[in-house]
Amino acid sequence: MVNLPIYLDYNSTTPCDPRVVEAMLPYFTQKFGNAASRSHAFGWEGEEAVEVAREQVARLIGAEPKEIVFTSGATEGDNLALKGVFELYASKGNHIITVATEHKAVLDTCEHLERLGGEITRLSVNSQGLIDLQELEAAIRPTTVLIAVMYANNEIGVLQPIKAISEIAHRHGTLFFSDATQAVGKIPVDVGSDGIDLLSLSAHKLYGPKGIGALYVRRRDPRVRLAAQMDGGGHERGMRSGTLNVPAIVGLGKACELCGQEMAAEALRVGSLRNRLETGLLHIPGSTVNGSREHRLPHTTNISFSGVNGEALLAGLGKDVALSSGSACTSASIEPSYVLKALGLDDNLAHSSLRLGLGRWTTTEQVDYAIGRITQTVEKLRELAYK
């Protein structure tokens, strides 16, 4: 018997792993010191915990501990990277290249920079959700200060050719930033071999707590400098002031450590379940997978069901299967997904899509139940539509 409801929305957030919670708990009570209090044992204890976590985060992405700046999450990390580069490198130029399918934390920040006089190029994607590398290179100008391309898309799971993008950026003397929120902890990410200069991540996407994240900032070859967006106290090497959230930072560190240990096996397990889910749902007539099936995350699929209203589909499933029709950050909008529209889907097909994200506690029984429940709901809605 499957316990309901089933959670298949791991792209929006993940449950906090009990081992992460266990690591965090002492820092709410006995070990409550401010990590910036350098004059007594309580502060030293907090500082030590923060530095251990900094090492754990760095190890997962192939960085040095001093290159990790703690933030409140990936949205803040995106803002700090984009605004920080734009402000500090203003003498070089004001042009940023990004992609039409980026997360709103990047796209909305770019719109903000446009209002400040920035020039933004938004690259299109093909029907697979991938950018054209020639189009990217052609878009670079002498005034280009940053290329911002997400590692893995949050709605369709598509992986961009990160290493090739970084090579193009560096060949033209431009910094490369990647929002890797969906990728870190799910697939191997190495800022060194990938050639990434700035990278954002968030704990709650990899079984850590909400409200904490990190921004990787390269220290050499090239040394990246940022204008702080939060002033006061000079915390985090002056890039992000504010009292450090020690319990959450400990949680992020532990979550990264666990992902480093278990990621390879988990990717195989969840990938197999995703394929099982996808195969079952593609038996439904008029169903199609959106985005590349070759270059994508192992735990994500996005499927359209023609002739079905997406809101009605979600409403029909809501009590039994928790999933979404797109990004959790834009779920309040009744507009069709801008990511799916960028792939070339029309409004009706984009509206009829489901994003399914599997994770650490997804089981075969849950997948099989979801296949049956979704199939039943789609068939019922189509019957009603043709009456």
Which listed residue (110, 256, 259, 329) is catalytic? 329
- State how far the alpha carbon of 302 is from the alpha carbons of 9, 299, 373, in Å: 11, 11, 17
How many alpha carbons lie under 13 Å from residue 276 in its C-beta half-sphere? 18
How far is it, in rounded angstroms, from Cα 387 to Cα 384?
5
Q: How many helices (H) and strands (E) does the chain have?
A: 12, 12
How far is it, in rounded angstroms, from Cα 232 to Cα 275?
49
* H helix intervals, the chain: 18-24, 41-61, 74-88, 104-115, 133-139, 162-171, 191-194, 246-281, 310-317, 338-342, 347-351, 364-385
Which contiguous run of DSSP H or E holds residue 288?
Answer: strand 287-289
**Three-state DSSP state, 291:** coil
- Token couple for 62: 């192939």
How far is it, in rounded angstroms, from Cα 74 to Cα 31?
27
Q: Which amino acid is at 17?
A: D
How far is it, in rounded angstroms, from Cα 123 to Cα 11?
24
Q: Is 259 a catalytic residue?
A: no
- State how far the alpha carbon of 372 is from the alpha carbons of 141, 320, 361, in Å: 52, 11, 19
How far is it, in rounded angstroms, from Cα 86 to Cα 79?
10
Neighbouring C-beta atoms of residue 231, cutoff 10 Å: 11
Q: Order the strands of the 68-71 sheet from edge to edge.
A: 68-71, 213-217, 198-202, 175-179, 144-148, 95-99, 119-123
Residue 184 has what DSSP assignment? B
How far does Cα 142 stand from its chain's mean position? 30
Radius of gyration of the chain (CA): 21
How far is it, in rounded angstroms, from Cα 302 to Cα 354?
6
Query: Annotated active-site positions, please?
Result: 329
